[in-house]
Structure 1
Amino acid sequence: MWPSLRVLEQVDASEVVEAGGVPVVLRAVVVKDSVQDLVQRFADAFRAGGLHVPPGNEQPQLASGAAMLTAVDMYRGLTFTVILQPQEGDVTLVYLGEANHTLRREPSAEGDVATLPPGAHQVLRVNDEGSRTMSFLVPMSASEVDTFYAQVLGRDGWRRTEGDASSYTRASEELRVVHEPAEGGLRSVVLILRGRARAAQGSTVP
């Protein structure tokens, strides 16, 4: 289903992550083509492969010149998504994702990155080997989000990183709280949890 690309660099090897309970095979490459040319090339390849490509007004809109295109295989329950981000030097960073919705399992709030604020909705949980991410919309202002997580995370043993109000640490973990305005007076919030390297008890670090 993917078109042929002039790959300059493979950023990441293929990995499987979980997004909203759906397993997604994800990889990233840098190619020598413009975003505009790639959008058309992917759309043509998807249609040639018998996929349904929703019209442009139904595709997510991204900022900073980036583009996103999703196609659906309605018979096999698969979606193919490409995110295109222009880079310096007239090259494009391309994220390729293939999601299998037939293997979806209901996401659980157990083990969430952190407590959700009241009124949070459109919650998306993404888990992979190195990190866990949770994003959502909430009817709160920027200061209300900051105050809420300063209280909640402080209660749970997190300490705010000096000089960085969006970063917290706890033992071998780091948590970032990133948010920005969204439509309808809402706030889009992303929580990113990463584990930091820690030696096992009794072992030595070379």
Structure 2
Amino acid sequence: MENTWLAHAKRLQALAATGLHYSRDPFDIERFEEIDDIARDMIARLADTPVERLSGLPEPQEGYATPKIDIRAAVIRNDRILLVREKRDGKWTMPGGFADIGLTASDCAVKETWEEATLPVRVLKLYELRHRAKQPGAPDYRDFYKFFFLCEADDATEPAPGPETSGAAFYLPDALPEMSLGRSGPQDVDRAFVHWRDRDRPTDWD
């Protein structure tokens, strides 16, 4: 669960970005710029990240500030789930990443799985929709929703790592490697298998 003060600082920065986009009065613009600077400094301190590295925060030119979208693919085959090892932290996760403009959410799940595990898949359903701030893992200064899609792959193709990954393999749900919790965690794997066994089950959401 995200720290309350980090959540407040992120919300404050988003309001400042929205205010800067819509404001025309020079005095209001000056105030919103100051609020934006203060909020960014708060986020940097709370997330232990230098201000200059706070990429991904809402900017004034973006209009109304909204969360980003992260897509994850739960690919199950022979009672095992596909995981890829991230080069950035050396830990494992379901294939995925931030959504691409021009693609549907399910298209992104297919694309990310191919790019990170060189495995063609077919999307079956959206099984989970979560707010990143409520997920386990280290605090994240960005704000985004996470879409988890249940997918299947054919039995002939074996996964292989792509440019952004250093490993790709299927794992039993009770023998998972160390996972990159900010991306996906054991609880997301557990829910994937619940929905794999019951395809008509409603999507989990928060």
**Larger fraction in helix:** 2
TM-score, reference length from structure 2 = 0.26
TM-score, reference length from structure 1 = 0.26
Bigger relative contact order, structure 1 or 2 (CA pairs below 8 A, ≥6 apart): 2
